[in-house]
Amino acid sequence: MRPDFDTYHRPPPAAALDILVATSLVQAEARRQFDCFYPIVNREAEARSLAVIERGIYTMLVRGAAKVEEGVVLFWNPVEGVFQAYDTDYNELMLSFMGDFKTRYQRGMQLRAASN
């Protein structure tokens, strides 16, 4: 486990969300993330990827791991315990965090299988 994952800050409860306001912001944020962090793909793959990113952002909004503030979608940083814009550093943090989570999950499954 990475040392900065020793302390994990949970996000606050989700705030009330105006879905009409959030929809266009989520779509714009999904497009921005896609353009920044995804390789060039064909139109069909692009549409699928954008839909997946949008669903992920909506899920994060509902769970409180993201919020809309002043017309911007901000994401919860579990290491710093603050909301922030999705940028290169945050993308790297989340990829590392998910990789660490996957490693711990797989290790637990291996231990369970060995004890059966």
Q: What is the pLDDT of residue 39?
A: 77
CA distance linking residue 95 with residue 114, whole number of Å: 28
Helix (H, G, I), strand (E, B) or coil at 16: coil
- Domain span at 82: 3-115
> DSSP secondary structure string, 41-83?
--HHHHHHHHHHHHHHHHHHHHHTSEEEETTEEEEEETTTTEE
What is the total count of domains within the chain? 1
pLDDT tens-digit readout, 24-83: 999 999 999 999 888 777 888 889 999 999 999 999 999 999 999 999 999 999 888 999
User: pLDDT: is 112 or 20 the higher one?
Assistant: 20
pLDDT tens-digit readout, 84-95: 999 999 989 888
